[in-house]
Structure 1
Amino acid sequence: MAAPASPLLAQQAGADGSAPVMLDSVKVTASKRTTLVEKTPMAISAITAEQLDELGAVDIKDYAAQVPGLRIQYNGPGANRISLRGVNSSGEATVGVYYDETPVAGSTGVSSDAGGRSPDLELFDVDRIEVLRGPQGTLYGASSMGGAIRILYQKPTQELEGRVEAGYEGTRGGDPSGSQNLMLNVPLAKDVLAARLTAYNRETGGYVDNTFLGIDDINSAHAKGARLQLRYTPTEDVTVDFSQSKGSTDAFSSTWHPSQGDYKQLSQVKLPYDDDTQMDSLTLDWDLGWASLTANTSYQRRASTYISDDSYYIQTYLTPTACANDLGAACDAGQLQSWYDQVNSLVPAALIHDGITRDRTAEVRLTSADSDFIDWTVGVFSQNRDNYVASQDAPADAASGEIITPWELFYRRQIWDKLKQKAVFGEATWHATDRLNLTAGLRFYDYDKTVTGITDIPWDMIGATYKPLTSVDASERGWLRKFTVDYSVSDSVMLYATAADGFRPGGANQVIGLDEALTAYRSDKLWNYEIGAKSAWLDRSLLVNVALYQIDWDDMQVSGRTLNGAFSFLSNAGAARMRGAELEAIWRPLAGLDLSANFNYVDAKLTEDQVSDVINGAGRAGDRVPNIPRSSGMLAAAYRFPISAGLDGMVRVDGSYVGGSYSLFSGTYNVWKDSYTTVGLRAGVESSDDRWAAYLYVQNLTDEVALNQYTLSSTPPYGSATSLRPRTVGMNVSFNF
């Protein structure tokens, strides 16, 4: 598209027709009312549709570098862990993700780790993305203790219009990729009803070679989906929006094993991932004059199956000690050989995680009309989430790595996880003077969680004996608070200070052989203290936002593992403190040229010992929080220029830096992930009437082996990693009609 792009701003046309330099702000709705981004007293980044086009962003990993402190731990398809400001841990999500008004739920899996399995949805036909940093509990509830991300789609209009896109790219050492996108907007009844249909199809070539099975480029993926939106406006005061999205992903794991070389995988079985997600949403907006009523109800259904390789773990039982433990006495030569034959008969083995998540949410809120005295928002929220997952082992074919069908299960554990939440919330801003505003927010929450499990196909070899159907309940109620004061020093400078808290629900583990004292785990909570400034300089051609914060995090939910290494679970241990600074800046020194930058520094450390016999990599006070780099940043330059009367050109270069981090707090399996710097280039031509555009681009220009996740283990191949794609060169074209 021909419009300029920036994370916060859009170009303002000059009144005399000359090329403008002044920057103007984007409108956001993060506070549940429409405000200008530089007048919103919180740390917020708004990424426009134009910038997403310039970046060629198709998912969250593609825009993460545009937001200070936003980290994506990519563990494979459908397995994103999102964190902000170093608030990173196993368990429920620490960052709330919303598609329009709908909160997106991750699947909990057998280890109650919903925050580690966020679904993948394509970013096509998006109006903007708002990233709110710091706790947003009063307006967005649980699991927004680190912040919230709002993905806001374009809505149906009364214009007949459409857009088609096509792309092709090649990755060094891998297979090519291709994509197609379609948008069609159709008015159905003049000024009353309109429909908008979008569809996408993306074939992603693999670049990881499985050296055990002899399969090159094994981590291919195919994602496709569609979204139908209807907008009904019976009067000028009432708008009803309906949306249904469906998407599916068929992929193979991108995990590779550094001990074998870059992008080399040693899995003895294929590692497919299948996901089908549906999201339905109905939203009413009613302008009552004195206030606006917004009511939303949504339904999400996600069915997913993913495979991991259990072969190497099973082979650890090929020892005389394991044989003796099984028989209860030392094994003679014949018994030992029989034991080895029994263990080998199970290899190769696939650990199959097969599950379904259903989530129903509803929210009703009233937002006052803009006032010079008090602005307020009040509302109620409810959620009913059901998760089912089966963790089961089955043999695979040794030659092909395919799971033998029908499945010949020799172990199965089934878990049902039900979460019900209710909340009442409100926020009010008192405009004490023309320059001074005081805001207070409050949320009362009440949740109940029931976890039910059964081991109906036991596996005595690993201690997974039969376990009857049992249930454990966990519930809690409490308050979340927020206090903000902001002061406009001038029309160009605003200062603010905020104190806000956040929490995540606790729960219960259903793990074989776990001590009863460790079955339940509590919610964890934090307080965020922040001061910030938003400012404009040089006749509004330069905007600079800064924030300083401290986060105190108590009763952290952390991952543990049973003594035999077979099962993971959640527990509470220790406390942490994050002290950080954020910077965002954009400067337009001349017409058509935008320079942008962001920087994040966070010192995230334990303030209490996390010493326990069951915690992975238990830490001591002063240890750094794992998987969070101390510093990260981005620099970008985008230049647009006329080529001819009907043709414009654009060039954009991005450089991003991610500092090093540890994988655990400490211990034998703790590993350091090196820092990395990546560079992206994008250039294109666009018709001046915004009808068509064509771009060439390079991602990861310097071909960095940029580790996103890296973990060590006691079994071969002793370490696994995921990473950014190697150098990728591509092109895409678009046509608007």
Structure 2
Amino acid sequence: MYNSRLLRRTRLRCEIASTFFLLTAGAAMPAHAQTSQPPAAAPADGGSDIVVTALRRDTTLQTTPMAITALTGETLTNAGVTNIADYAKFVPALRIQDNGPGQRRVSLRGVQASGEATVGVYYDDTPVTGSVGVSSDAAGRTADFTLFDVNRIEVLRGPQGTLYGASSMGGAIRVIFNKPSQDYEGKVEGQMQTTKGGGFGYFVNGMVNVPLVPDLLAARAILYRRDSNGYVDNSFLGRKNVNDYTATGGRLMLRFTPAPNFTLDATAAFENTDAVSASWNPLVGDYKSAAQIVLPYTDKSQLYSLTAAWDMGGATLTSISSYQHRKSAYAADDSYYIGTYRTEARCAAYVNGDANSPCSSGQLTGYYGYIDSLSPAAIYYPGSTKDFTQEVRLSSSGESAFDWTIGGFYQNRKNDVTSEDARADKASGEIIMPVEIFYRREIFDKLKQVAVFGEGTYHVTPALSLTAGIRYFDYSKTVSGFTDIGWTLIGAPVRPLNTVDSSENGTLLKFNASWQANADMLFYATASQGFRPGGANQVIGLSADLTPYESDKLWNYEVGTKLSLLGRKLTLNLAAFQIDWDNMQVSGRTTNGAFSFLSNAGAARIRGLEAEAFLRPAEGLTLNLAGNYLDAKLTEDQVNDSVVAAGRAGDRIPFIPHFSGSFGVEYRMPVSSSVDFFARGDVNYVGASYSEFRATNIYRVKMEDYALANVRVGFELPESDTGVYLFVNNIFDSVAINRASMSSTPNSYSATSAAPRTVGVNLRRHF
């Protein structure tokens, strides 16, 4: 039975003058902290800087000439971060449209659109992909694993086309796990919480690290379970807290070290999610849903990787083989749409084949009976994603006048998805199982791509460095589909298997110049490209010349600086950029209005400023500040000879606010010889945005700006690495809508949001 799941936050419309000034600056930081391995001290006290691998080789954060936010494991734990939606607030220009677990759309720097992902997401060096669904919209279903026992997260802002390839046109996110070591180690964490207007929730996490064979083989095992009662009430069904959420998962990691210069890492990860949509209808009330059915979401994700690294002396050879298998199913309420067919005109068209030939009373009664028999109904989307990737690269190591990386990449991705209308129980709203189908369509989407890439940095002087990179890509996509159970009411007859192919190749470039003025001052300038693969539409009946669509590309022009000031007590990173986005993939309609499909039309220009600061003014006290300004607009109408889409030159890109930012304060002080007091407060501000391009669009919804404030206080026992904390998330109970949409169907105005005020207790111990 699908009863609610999923915990998030919610509302009360920014009535907070006291917090407002904090969030205008917004905060989040290139995190500095310890992790279980390798330890990295904060540069604020003059220690070594965090080591990152964003350039596919080891560099320090403050000497890497690009915009990166690095969040260490300790920062994530101290802030109570468990998923991508939690840490997004710490990263300038990182935006999440959160439709729930496994249904998050991620964008960086305003590069947001339907189609393939615009942000690459990696767990270690393994790329994960979203499921394409029936609308070729993999970006809307980004895979997401629970974060526990994480070494650090690196968020690379701006296109990373040369080293990371397709779908990193806005940037890339890298989650780096702690690896097995030759030490006995363990970690446990538990949490309980309650949400205003909702129910209780909890999570338990555990990790154990064991050396199996001294100096040769070690294992690290992680298990976790999360459970949360909901906070959305369904007024139509009379059910409370329908959006429950449960996730169970874990990882098993092995590290084999047969020689000092060779490591072999094997990882197997899984996460099973059972949830119900957290979408609600603002016109019905805050956190109130009018859906006629319960909307389940299930996801079984598996991720396997094998990484070999051989230090050859002067260069390191790395091979990453990975396989992702994801089975998921989600649903949408089709009941209100079916109800739009319950009219005399629809009866005339369906029964008599002519809207001008009215139905008799008998025909009308029979037709209405047929329509009523279909509801309530769900559009149910079960599907699977299988993705194999292989990357081999060779990177220079050590110090020399020339640093370089060369490599090759292969991907074979297969997506299968079914779109079916299924009946639900009127009383409970549950989809009847096994499904009672009255319409079904099958879709198969296959993507293959190969790439070779290289990037080199020449150190003209010890202070001046020049970088150039290139990537050649070649991909092909095959889309097949058929309808085996037709539904003539909506004009969807049985159709045989139809297959279309598309392919493309090309190059991506990167240029960078950096000047390390001194040990505490870096300036850089970058011009880089990014792209997304094109493909073929899954719209049955669309003419052959309109079926394929091309990749879209962009250029990013950026200048930035990284500064360590006040004796390294203050770290300040600034960036300014302009993105020129051409041949955009858009969702539009044919000029005669008959079909909706993906095509290429229009262009956009995104201008932005980003700032991060990390200040340690006194022993035990740290301040984090981050924020961004984005001006993301179309520069051309989204119109060509084949498609008319919504956008016109000057329109803002949907869901992208002008301003966002966050501010954090963390304080730790000893209260006795064995106990420390800990306190942390965070405020996150997100500006207003809109769901559609055109201001004249009657279905355009404004998402108001909001502020979320969280606080966490507790006591820690440093010697035993133990902590107990009380926390309050969304202190002022703000209604924080991050996604909203509306159509012509009744009760279609829906939204998702952060959870209402949540209070809880957290305990953890590392031994």
- TM-score category, normalised to shorter length: over 0.9
1:297 aligned partner: 321
1:344 shift after superposition? 1.1
Are 2:530 and 1:505 aligned? Answer: no
2:23 aligned partner: none
Are 2:495 and 1:495 aligned? Answer: no
1:692 aligned partner: 722
Deviation sequence 1:220-241 (CA, Å, 0-9, x none): 0100011000000001000000
2:106 aligned partner: 82
Deviation sequence 1:682-726 (CA, Å, 0-9, x none): 111111214311111111111110001000111111301000000
Q: Which moved more, 1:298-307 or 1:511-520?
A: 511-520
1:649 shift after superposition? 1.3
Find the residue that maps to 1:9 and give its secondary structure.
Answer: coil
Aligned-partner Cα distance in 2 for 1:254–1:471: 36
8 Å CA contact 2:282, 2:751 repeated in 1: yes
1:207 shift after superposition? 0.2
Aligned-partner Cα distance in 2 for 1:685–1:555: 55
8 Å CA contact 2:32, 2:75 repeated in 1: no
Question: Which of residues 674, 677, 690 is equivalent to 2:707?
Answer: 677
Question: Which of residues 488, 491, 498 is equivalent to 1:463?
Answer: 491
Aligned-partner Cα distance in 1 for 2:743–2:91: 32
Amino acid at match of 1:328: G
Q: 1:398 to 1:527 in 2, by over 3 A?
A: same
Amino acid at match of 1:598: A
8 Å CA contact 1:6, 1:50 repeated in 2: no
Aligned-partner Cα distance in 1 for 2:268–2:276: 27
1:24 shift after superposition? 4.7
Q: Which moved more, 1:552-561 or 1:413-422?
A: 552-561
1:620 shift after superposition? 1.3
Q: 1:614 to 1:439 in 2, by over 3 A?
A: same
**Following superposition of structure 1 onto structure 2, how do residues 176-195 of structure 1 map, counting pairs within 5 Å?**
176-195=200-219
Aligned-partner Cα distance in 2 for 1:124–1:200: 8
Question: Which of residues 412, 424, 442 is equivalent to 1:384?
Answer: 412
8 Å CA contact 1:86, 1:628 repeated in 2: yes
Are 2:476 and 1:448 aligned? Answer: yes
Question: Which of residues 170, 178, 184 is equivalent to 1:154?
Answer: 178
Aligned-partner Cα distance in 2 for 1:420–1:134: 25
1:156 shift after superposition? 0.3
Are 2:429 and 1:401 aligned? Answer: yes
2:40 aligned partner: none
1:247 shift after superposition? 0.8
**Following superposition of structure 1 onto structure 2, how do residues 481-630 of structure 1 map, counting pairs within 5 Å?**
481-560=509-588, 569-611=597-639, 618-630=646-658
Deviation sequence 1:117-172 (CA, Å, 0-9, x none): 01231000000000000000100010000000000000001111111111000100
1:186 shift after superposition? 0.5
Aligned-partner Cα distance in 1 for 2:301–2:595: 27
1:120 aligned partner: 144
Aligned-partner Cα distance in 1 for 2:400–2:265: 30
Are 2:759 and 1:729 aligned? Answer: yes
Aligned-partner Cα distance in 2 for 1:478–1:228: 38
Aligned-partner Cα distance in 1 for 2:407–2:70: 25
Q: Which ranges in structure 1 are unaligned for 5 or more consecutive residues? A: 13-18
Are 2:112 and 1:111 aligned? Answer: no
Aligned-partner Cα distance in 2 for 1:236–1:363: 23
Deviation sequence 1:387-409 (CA, Å, 0-9, x none): 00000011111111122232221
Aligned-partner Cα distance in 2 for 1:514–1:613: 15
Amino acid at match of 2:327: A
**Following superposition of structure 1 onto structure 2, how do residues 266-281 of structure 1 map, counting pairs within 5 Å?**
266-281=290-305
8 Å CA contact 2:30, 2:68 repeated in 1: no
**Following superposition of structure 1 onto structure 2, how do residues 216-235 of structure 1 map, counting pairs within 5 Å?**
216-235=240-259
8 Å CA contact 2:33, 2:75 repeated in 1: no
Q: Cα RMSD over matched residues? A: 1.9
1:332 shift after superposition? 2.5
2:377 aligned partner: 349
Find the residue that maps to 2:606 and give its secondary structure.
Answer: strand
1:95 aligned partner: 119
Amino acid at match of 2:281: H
Percent identity (aligned)? 55
Aligned-partner Cα distance in 2 for 1:719–1:333: 34
Q: 1:635 to 1:716 in 2, by over 3 A?
A: same
1:668 shift after superposition? 1.8
2:288 aligned partner: 264
8 Å CA contact 2:29, 2:91 repeated in 1: no
Q: 1:512 to 1:584 in 2, by over 3 A?
A: same
TM value normalised by structure 2 = 0.93
1:48 aligned partner: 72
8 Å CA contact 1:640, 1:650 repeated in 2: yes
1:16 aligned partner: none
1:519 shift after superposition? 1.7
Find the residue that maps to 2:129 and give its secondary structure.
Answer: coil
Aligned-partner Cα distance in 1 for 2:96–2:592: 30
Amino acid at match of 2:157: R
1:488 shift after superposition? 1.4
8 Å CA contact 2:481, 2:540 repeated in 1: no
1:6 shift after superposition? 6.0
Are 2:353 and 1:328 aligned? Answer: yes
Q: 1:650 to 1:500 in 2, by over 3 A?
A: same
Aligned-partner Cα distance in 2 for 1:156–1:601: 41
Deviation sequence 1:584-632 (CA, Å, 0-9, x none): 0011111111111001001000000124799796121111000000110
Are 2:31 and 1:8 aligned? Answer: yes
8 Å CA contact 1:464, 1:512 repeated in 2: no
Amino acid at match of 2:562: K
Are 2:157 and 1:133 aligned? Answer: yes
Q: Which moved more, 1:285-294 or 1:510-519?
A: 510-519
1:203 aligned partner: 227
**Following superposition of structure 1 onto structure 2, how do residues 25-36 of structure 1 map, counting pairs within 5 Å?**
25-36=49-60
Q: 1:574 to 1:565 in 2, by over 3 A?
A: closer
8 Å CA contact 1:112, 1:569 repeated in 2: no
1:476 shift after superposition? 0.3
Aligned-partner Cα distance in 2 for 1:163–1:561: 54
**Following superposition of structure 1 onto structure 2, how do residues 236-275 of structure 1 map, counting pairs within 5 Å?**
236-275=260-299
8 Å CA contact 2:475, 2:533 repeated in 1: yes
Are 2:97 and 1:73 aligned? Answer: yes
Aligned-partner Cα distance in 1 for 2:594–2:636: 28
Q: 1:561 to 1:23 in 2, by over 3 A?
A: farther
Amino acid at match of 1:686: E
Deviation sequence 1:179-216 (CA, Å, 0-9, x none): 00000000000000000000000001100001111110
Aligned-partner Cα distance in 2 for 1:705–1:43: 31
Question: Which of residues 215, 233, 236 is equivalent to 1:212?
Answer: 236
Q: Which moved more, 1:177-186 or 1:112-121?
A: 112-121
Aligned-partner Cα distance in 2 for 1:158–1:620: 59
8 Å CA contact 2:246, 2:275 repeated in 1: yes
Find the residue that maps to 1:341 and give its secondary structure.
Answer: helix
Aligned-partner Cα distance in 1 for 2:460–2:310: 29
Aligned-partner Cα distance in 1 for 2:316–2:85: 35
8 Å CA contact 1:237, 1:288 repeated in 2: yes
1:566 shift after superposition? 11
8 Å CA contact 1:500, 1:527 repeated in 2: yes
8 Å CA contact 1:81, 1:118 repeated in 2: yes
